[in-house]
Chains A and B, each alone.
Chain A
Amino acid sequence: MQYIVQIGLVAIIAYFSSMAGDVFSATVSGKITDSDGNALEHAVITLVGQTPELISMTAVMPSPVMSQQDIQFNPFVLPVAAGTTVSFPNRDQIRHHVYSFSKVKRFELELYGEDEEKSVMFDQQGVVALGCNIHDNMLAYIYIARSNIFAKSDADGTVTINDIPAGVYTAYVWHPRMRADEEDMKQEIVVDENGGVEISFDVVLKRERNRKRSTY
Chain B
Amino acid sequence: MFKKFQTKLVILFAALFVLVQAMTYSSVYFATKNNLDDQVTEQLRYGGTVFNQALEVRSERWLNETRIFSTDYGFRSAVTTYDEATVMSALKNLAARVDANLAMVVSLENEIVAQLSDDDQVKFTTAEFSQMIEFADEYGDATAYIELNNKIYQYTVVPVLAPVPVAWVGIGVQIDAAMIRDIKQTLPVGIDITLIERMDDGKLVPIETTLEGDASLAIDEILSSAIVEGNINFDSVADYNFMAYKMFLPSSLDNRNTAAVLTYSLDAAYSPYMPLAYMLMLLAALGLVSLIAGSITVARSVSSPLKVLTRAARLIQIGRYEKIEKIKQKDEIGELANHFNQMVIGIQDREEQIIYQAEHDLETGLPNRKSLEKYLNILAENHKDTGQEFSVLQLSVGRFGDIRNTLGYETARGLIKNISIRLLRNANSNNYVARLSTSNFCIVQEGASISDAKELAFKLLDIFEEPFSVKNFTIDTNVSIGISSCPDHADTVDLLIQRASIAALHAKDSIDRISVYDQKIDKYDPDQLSLMGDFRKSLDEGDVTFYYQPKIDLNSGRITHVEALVRWIHPVRGFIAPDNFITMAEQTGHIHHLTIWGLDTVIKQLREWEDVGINLKMAFNLSAYDLTNRKLPEIIIKLLEKYHIPRSAMVFEVTESAIMQDPELALEVLNAMDQHGFILSIDDYGTGYSSMSYLKKLPVRELKIDKSFVLDLATNREDEILVRSAIDLGHNLGLKVTAEGVEDEKTMELLKSFGCDTVQGFYISKPLPVADLNDFLKNSPFGLSVMPTSGQGTISQSDNTLVRMLEQKLAKN
Complex alpha-carbon distance, A1 and B140, angstroms = 14
Q: Flag whether B68 is at the interface (Cβ < 8 A).
A: yes
- Pick the contact of A129: B68, B140, B141, B164 (CB < 8 A): B164
Chain B residues whose CB sits within 8 angstroms of the CB of A207 once the complex forms: 138-139
With contact pairs A207-B138, A213-B140 given, residues A101 and B166 touching in the complex (Cβ less than 8 Å): yes
Q: For window 99-114 of chain A, which residues contact chain B by CB distance below 8 Å?
A: 99, 101-103, 106
Quick check: B64 and A210 within 8 Å, CB to CB? no
Quick check: B71 and A210 within 8 Å, CB to CB? no
Quick check: A210 and B139 within 8 Å, CB to CB? yes
Tally the A-B contacts, defined by beta carbons under 8 Å: 44
Quick check: B140 and A101 within 8 Å, CB to CB? no
Quick check: B140 and A209 within 8 Å, CB to CB? yes
- Pick the contact of B161: A103, A106, A176, A214 (CB < 8 A): A214
Quick check: B138 and A139 within 8 Å, CB to CB? no
Quick check: B140 and A216 within 8 Å, CB to CB? no
Complex alpha-carbon distance, A27 and B161, angstroms = 39
| Interface membership of chain A positions 193-216, coded 1 if the CB is closer than 8 angstroms to chain B and 0 otherwise | 000000000000011011001101
Q: Flag whether B162 is at the interface (Cβ < 8 A).
A: yes
Complex alpha-carbon distance, A1 and B135, angstroms = 12
| Interface membership of chain B positions 67-90, coded 1 if the CB is closer than 8 angstroms to chain A and 0 otherwise | 110010100110010000000000
Q: Flag whether A131 is at the interface (Cβ < 8 A).
A: yes
Q: For window 156-193 of chain B, which residues contact chain A by CB distance below 8 Å?
A: 161-164, 166
Quick check: A101 and B76 within 8 Å, CB to CB? yes
In the complex, the chain B residue whose C-beta lies closest to that of A177 is: B164
- Pick the contact of B67: A139, A176, A213 (CB < 8 A): A213
Q: Flag whether A14 is at the interface (Cβ < 8 A).
A: no
Quick check: B140 and A210 within 8 Å, CB to CB? yes
Question: Which residue, A99, A102, A206, A209, has most C-beta atoms of chain B within 10 A?
Answer: A209
Quick check: B163 and A129 within 8 Å, CB to CB? yes
For the complex, count residues of A whose C-beta is within 8 A of B: 22
In the complex, the chain B residue whose C-beta lies closest to that of A212 is: B140
Chain A residues whose CB sits within 8 angstroms of the CB of B164 once the complex forms: 129, 139, 176
Complex alpha-carbon distance, A132 and B164, angstroms = 12
Complex alpha-carbon distance, A213 and B166, angstroms = 17
With contact pairs A101-B76, A129-B162 given, residues A216 and B139 touching in the complex (Cβ less than 8 Å): no
Return A104 CB to nearest CB of chain B, in Å: 12
Kindly state the interface size class of chain B when it binds its partner: 10 to 19
Complex alpha-carbon distance, A83 and B80, angstroms = 23
Complex alpha-carbon distance, A102 and B108, angstroms = 13
Q: Flag whether A123 is at the interface (Cβ < 8 A).
A: no
Q: Flag whether A78 is at the interface (Cβ < 8 A).
A: no
With contact pairs A138-B163, A210-B140 given, residues A133 and B73 touching in the complex (Cβ less than 8 Å): yes
Chain B residues whose CB sits within 8 angstroms of the CB of A209 once the complex forms: 140
In the complex, the chain A residue whose C-beta lies closest to that of B63 is: A213
Chain B residues whose CB sits within 8 angstroms of the CB of A131 once the complex forms: 161-163
Chain B residues whose CB sits within 8 angstroms of the CB of A138 once the complex forms: 163
Return B278 CB to nearest CB of chain A, in Å: 58
Chain A residues whose CB sits within 8 angstroms of the CB of B161 once the complex forms: 131, 136, 214
Complex alpha-carbon distance, A105 and B64, angstroms = 30
Chain A residues whose CB sits within 8 angstroms of the CB of B162 once the complex forms: 99, 101-102, 129, 131
With contact pairs A101-B80, A138-B163 given, residues A213 and B71 touching in the complex (Cβ less than 8 Å): no
Complex alpha-carbon distance, A138 and B161, angstroms = 12
Complex alpha-carbon distance, A106 and B79, angstroms = 13
Complex alpha-carbon distance, A103 and B166, angstroms = 10
Quick check: B138 and A1 within 8 Å, CB to CB? yes
Complex alpha-carbon distance, A129 and B163, angstroms = 7
In the complex, the chain B residue whose C-beta lies closest to that of A103 is: B80
Return A10 CB to nearest CB of chain B, in Å: 31
Quick check: A136 and B163 within 8 Å, CB to CB? yes
Quick check: B67 and A216 within 8 Å, CB to CB? yes
In the complex, the chain B residue whose C-beta lies closest to that of A138 is: B163
Q: For window 132-166 of chain B, which residues contact chain A by CB distance below 8 Å?
A: 137-141, 161-164, 166
Quick check: A216 and B68 within 8 Å, CB to CB? yes
In the complex, the chain A residue whose C-beta lies closest to that of B138 is: A207
| Interface membership of chain A positions 116-127, coded 1 if the CB is closer than 8 angstroms to chain B and 0 otherwise | 000000000000
Chain A residues whose CB sits within 8 angstroms of the CB of B64 once the complex forms: 216
Chain A residues whose CB sits within 8 angstroms of the CB of B80 once the complex forms: 101, 103, 106
Return B434 CB to nearest CB of chain A, in Å: 136
Chain A residues whose CB sits within 8 angstroms of the CB of B67 once the complex forms: 213-214, 216
In the complex, the chain B residue whose C-beta lies closest to that of A132 is: B163
Quick check: B71 and A214 within 8 Å, CB to CB? yes
Return A129 CB to nearest CB of chain B, in Å: 4
Question: Which residue, B76, B77, B164, has most C-beta atoms of chain A within 10 A?
Answer: B164
Chain B residues whose CB sits within 8 angstroms of the CB of A133 once the complex forms: 73
Chain A residues whose CB sits within 8 angstroms of the CB of B137 once the complex forms: 206
Complex alpha-carbon distance, A216 and B161, angstroms = 13
Complex alpha-carbon distance, A1 and B138, angstroms = 8
Return A101 CB to nearest CB of chain B, in Å: 4
Return A115 CB to nearest CB of chain B, in Å: 25
Chain B residues whose CB sits within 8 angstroms of the CB of A139 once the complex forms: 163-164
Complex alpha-carbon distance, A102 and B138, angstroms = 21
Complex alpha-carbon distance, A99 and B73, angstroms = 10
Return A141 CB to nearest CB of chain B, in Å: 8
Complex alpha-carbon distance, A132 and B73, angstroms = 10
Q: Could you list which residues of chain A lie within 8 angstroms of chain B, going by C-beta atoms?
A: 1, 99, 101-103, 106, 129-133, 136, 138-139, 176, 206-207, 209-210, 213-214, 216
Q: Could you list which residues of chain B lie within 8 angstroms of chain A, going by C-beta atoms?
A: 64, 67-68, 71, 73, 76-77, 80, 137-141, 161-164, 166
User: Could you list 11 further interchain pairs (A-B, Cβ under 8 angstroms) beyond the known A213-B67, A213-B140?
Assistant: A99-B162, A106-B80, A129-B162, A129-B164, A131-B163, A136-B161, A136-B163, A138-B163, A213-B141, A214-B163, A216-B64
Residue pairs across A and B with Cβ atoms less than 8 A apart, 25 shown, are A101-B76, A101-B77, A101-B80, A101-B166, A102-B162, A106-B80, A129-B164, A130-B163, A131-B161, A131-B162, A132-B163, A136-B71, A138-B163, A139-B163, A139-B164, A206-B138, A207-B138, A209-B140, A210-B139, A213-B67, A213-B140, A214-B161, A214-B163, A216-B64, A216-B68
Counting from the closest, the 9 A-B pairs by CB-CB distance are: A131-B163, A101-B80, A101-B162, A129-B164, A210-B140, A139-B163, A207-B138, A213-B140, A133-B73
